[in-house]
Amino acid sequence: MSVGELILDKTISPLLSSKLGLSRTHFRPPKSQLLESSSISLKSVTRLTFFETTDSGPRTTRSRNTFLSKEWTTFAQNVSAVANISSKSFTKFLAGSFAGSGGSGNFSARAIIDKGILSSQPGAQITAISQHLYSGSFCSGSGALLQDLMTKSTVRSNLTRFIPEITAVTSRNLEYVFGETNSFSCHGAPNVSNTAGAALWTLDYALFGRTINITRFYFHEGIGFKYNLIQPATLTRSILDGSNLPTPLPPHVQPQYYAAIIAGEAIGKSGSTQISELSINDSRITGYAFYERGVLKRAVFINLQAFLSGTSGARPSVHLDFSVSGKTRTTVKRLTIGHADDASGLKWGGQSYETPDGRVNGTLSQESGLVRDGLDIVATEAVLVSFS
């Protein structure tokens, strides 16, 4: 398979590496307080990037219309008065927080922009519009298939439907962000959201999203949630079924954490990295090229075919050929995974982050090669290729 010439495309925000995988913290005063600014208190809050006046928005048509026309402006005016949000403040408003809108109808970015939200006094301090999205739901307790989550076409169809919304927002020099997202709502699906396959989904989901101008991804987290990148506290119950654990489980990283590490390394430290999705005619393989000042530096390739623990036979593999101008050598770093449904045991470049303190451990392992030789990538694997 030939990947073809790597082509410069859109700018990627350096914020992606720091925002990927962060949990969301909510300060939620009652609605009555928001309607009366004198009742709001921001004690112990030292520095806020955004103030979000809703979480997933009102659900009924009537409340949506009221929200769009009156309530948000009232809420935001009162918050501005207490939090001193202005053109000179660091803190701005994160507006929208749409859930399930699909980018259409009365409750969408285009709708609130058309209704003049940006023209209001607090609306002038909106710097980002937020969408909430999950790839599916586990709220009813129904099962999920790991390969369905990992499928290349599914990732793209879930995200590209928001392109009209993204265009409407970014054309006004605002950021379009996913203010709450992850694999399956209601804290994840067991043996899917907590697996190595979910790590590959996270990596592809975030990188593809950036190519269509979604600038930040806030992955929803909480103590004991199945889809956490990090379990931040000691657990006494199973994240899968809530049963008592024989011994407490100390804080630790989960497979999705590796996606954040890989994204950070791919983006690098230049602060001006650019990304382009590579056109790969294979339903299993995705690829992204990263440039610094217009010069190709790195590429990430992901094989989204789920190699499961019950799979028999040899592990499938795909060979990739490159055509890269001005580059002759490659350094390859691999995310090694036993099986897509493994919940631990991943290695990034031969090293593990599954340590008592979350610090990397082990000897770094990388492969040196020639561009003309390409590389092999097995099912359920991600690789970072550096070019020189």
| pLDDT value at residue 166 | 95
Q: Is residue 10 part of a domain?
A: no
Q: What is the pTM of this model?
A: 0.88
Q: Residue 212's CB: how many other CB atoms inside 10 A?
A: 17
Containing structural domain, residue 218? 15-260
Consecutive 10-residue averages of pLDDT for the chain (388 residues): 46 38 41 45 65 64 54 85 89 85 70 87 92 85 79 96 94 95 93 97 97 94 95 96 96 97 95 92 95 93 96 94 90 98 98 96 98 96 97
Beta-carbon contacts of residue 377 (< 8 Å; ≥ 6 apart): 285, 301, 303, 317, 318, 320, 383
Q: Last residue of a domain, which of 260, 288, 322?
A: 260
| pLDDT value at residue 203 | 98
Same domain assignment for residues 290 and 141 = no
Query: With contact defined as beta carbons under 8 Å apart, do 366 and 320 qualify?
Result: no
- Give me 132's structure tokens: 């909430």
Q: Last residue of a domain, which of 260, 288, 317?
A: 260
Output the domain CATH number for residue 315. 2.60.40.1180
Pairing of strands 329-336, 367-370: antiparallel
Beta-carbon contacts of residue 242 (< 8 Å; ≥ 6 apart): none
Q: Is residue 2 part of a domain?
A: no
Q: Interior CA angle at 158 toward 154 and 160, to 5°?
A: 110
Which run of H or E residues covers position 317? strand 317-323
Q: Name residue, tokens 């003049």.
A: 116
Same domain assignment for residues 216 and 318 = no
Q: Residue 226's CB: how many other CB atoms inside 10 A?
A: 24
Q: Is residue 298 part of a domain?
A: yes
- Give me 348's structure tokens: 């990034």
- Give me 29's structure tokens: 């005063």
Query: With contact defined as beta carbons under 8 Å apart, do 166 and 213 qualify?
Result: yes
| pLDDT value at residue 50 | 86
Q: Name residue, tokens 């980018």.
A: 103
Same domain assignment for residues 173 and 287 = no
Q: Last residue of a domain, which of 260, 286, 308?
A: 260
Q: How far is CA 311 from the centre of its chain?
A: 29
Query: With contact defined as beta carbons under 8 Å apart, do 377 and 305 qualify?
Result: no
Same domain assignment for residues 61 and 134 = yes
Same domain assignment for residues 215 and 323 = no
Pairwise CA distance, residues 285 & 307, whole Å: 14
Same domain assignment for residues 309 and 200 = no
Same domain assignment for residues 242 and 293 = no
Query: With contact defined as beta carbons under 8 Å apart, do 348 and 383 qualify?
Result: no
CA separation, residue 178 to residues 22, 49, 162, 175, 214 (Å): 12, 15, 11, 10, 7
Same domain assignment for residues 240 and 216 = yes
Same domain assignment for residues 192 and 137 = yes
Q: How does DSSP classify residue 294?
A: T
- Give me 299's structure tokens: 């590429």
Q: Residue 116's CB: how many other CB atoms inside 10 A?
A: 12
| pLDDT value at residue 193 | 96
